[in-house]
Amino acid sequence: MDPGAMAMLIPIFGILVGGLAIFTRSHLGHALAERIAGRAGGSPDLEAEVRELRTEVEALRGELIETQERLDFTERMIAGGTKEA
């Protein structure tokens, strides 16, 4: 390889290594390392909020199913033309 090209690659390599060193010491670098290691745990507040939201979604699904059943019943009543109580 041309010595002039090597001389140009040395500063680029130095900048890349320095940038990587700075990144690994940052909060983002630590978070990425935790995520890769599989130890990234959420905060207890966040986990509680997720549980609460999941419970709310399940309740809404139940309400939606009930509403759909009522709609189906109403459609059958209208289509059939009969009166049921």
Q: Same domain, yes or no, for 35 and 5?
A: yes
Q: What's the pLDDT tens digit per position in 28-68?
A: 888 888 888 877 666 778 888 999 999 999 999 999 999 99
Q: Same domain, yes or no, for 47 and 77?
A: yes
Q: 26: domain range?
A: 1-41
Q: Same domain, yes or no, for 1 and 26?
A: yes
**pTM of the entire structure?**
0.46
Q: Same domain, yes or no, for 36 and 48?
A: no
Q: Same domain, yes or no, for 17 and 52?
A: no
Buried b (16+ CB within 10 A) or exposed e, 8-37: eeeeeeeeeeeeeeeeeeeeeeeeeeeeee
